[in-house]
Amino acid sequence: SIPRIVVTRVLPPTSQAALEKLSNVEMVQWKEDRNMPRDLLLNSIKGADGLLCMLTDKVDQELFKVAGPKLKVVSTMSVGFDHVDTAELKQRGIKLGYTPDVLTDATADTTVMLLLAAARRLKEHQSCGGWRDLNVTCHNYPTQWREWGPNWLCAFCLMATVSRHIFSQSNFIPGVQFTSKTLGVVGLGRIGEAVAHRLRAFGISRVLYSGRGTKHEAAARLGGALHVPFHGLLAKSDFIVVCCALTEETKGMFNYDAFRRMKSSAVGSGRNRWWMVLGGEIGEGSYVMGAVGIFVNTARGGHVVQDDLARALQENLIAAAGLDVTTPEPLPTDSPLLGFKNCIVVPHIGELSHKARMFVILSNIVDLNISVSFLFCFSAVSSCAIGSATTETRDE
Ligand code: GLV
Ligand code: GLV
């Protein structure tokens, strides 16, 4: 009998067209442009041979149980597969298709974007949050305070320090350069390496990474990267990027303790208070003023204990954060994280480039005459080619 597959979303147009051209397959596809309701998914998966799902679908024991023994392949349009119960998958001998590589560059670009935006205080300079703000949108400010000037911002630094009760402490402070700074990569996989590679070009002088195992080859390609324990990475890095998979081990790893261990950048507090008055770079090329302790997450919201991050920002334990991923997505509008000027949140756009979304098509429409493995083809952003099998499958 012809295989039956369940597809939980409408794919990007070219992928969708290719999918619809498939013959010899019975396809059940959720056509509305929102997540397939769980009960419908469970209903449709009964007796199915394959599932093409999104990172928003939970592929858990319940689903496997309902699906029954015919299910051979689960293919997810994502590089992350934390939404898939891989232990159960393995036990049932089901193959997993996912989409590494194609979204590496897009996600690495997004990571750098967030890092730049956080380091150069984009949100603070862009948005008008009241009379204290000195930025493009605050037209009620005298022009001479809004136009470029040599002491612009730095003069205000001083004022902000001595009159913190008047000036909000995060205002009027220059950003921080990457030059001669230390980058900490949590998880030196494809994306982590791509981020480090980009930041090397920005002048990052030292790359540290943590995670299971030493990645000699990636480290060498980066002109040297040092494997360090997580706590060491937290303490030594100016910028920390999360690029690892979400697992039981990594879930919630960024809790209050982790943020507390990060370089302190508390503007106008503790030891940094007086350095800030001096302005400029101090010591080993390190800005002390609001310079260090920047946290960026483009992996999964689950890596972070969000209340702890909010508290860390509130207490100025870290300088800034950039988040592409949150729990939940999107964040509720009253989430405290949205209120911080030094916390930039974007809505899971890591891999949202034309190229990553369309890539699937370039290599996908190849030889579809194979019973169930064709499903790998339709990991919608996968670089799959059946036969040459460039899409990775995993026997978890
Ligand atoms: C995106 O988050 C992905 O896992 O592909
Ligand atoms: C600033 O715009 C400069 O040219 O130095």
Domains of the chain, first to last:
4-103+354-394 (3.40.50.720), 104-345 (3.40.50.720)
The yes-or-no verdict on residue 280 having pLDDT over 70 is: no
Does position 67 have pLDDT exceeding 70, yes or no?
Answer: yes
The answer, yes or no, to whether any atom of ligand 1 lies below 6 A from the CB of 124, is no
Tell me what the mean pLDDT of segment 69-80 comes to: 87
Q: Which residue has the higher pLDDT, 138 or 116?
A: 116
CA of 149 to the centre of ligand 2 (A): 9
SS (H, E, C) 266-285: CCCCCCHHHHHHHCCEECCC
Rounded mean pLDDT of 230-256? 96
State the greatest distance between any 2 C-alpha atoms of the chain, in Å, as a whole number: 78
279: left (phi over 0), alpha (psi -120 to 50) or beta: left
Lowest mean pLDDT among 50-59, 146-155, 189-198, 305-314: 146-155
- The answer to whether residues 292 and 286 touch, using CB atoms and an 8 Å cutoff, is yes
Task: Write down the pLDDT at residue 76.
Answer: 84
63-76: average pLDDT = 92
Query: 152 CA to middle of ligand 2, Å?
Result: 12
Tokens of 386: 């059946």
Question: Ligand 1 pocket, 79 CB below 6 A?
Answer: yes
Catalytic pick from 125, 139, 348, 354? 348
Identify whether 227 is a catalytic site residue: no
The preferred substitution site among 52, 82, 101, 103 for testing ligand 1, maximizing ligand atoms within 8 Å of CB, is: 103
Pocket of ligand 1 contains residue 103 by CB under 6 Å:
yes
Which of 276, 58, 49, 266 is closest to 157 using CA atoms?
A: 276
With a 6 A CB cut-off, is 78 part of the ligand 1 pocket? yes
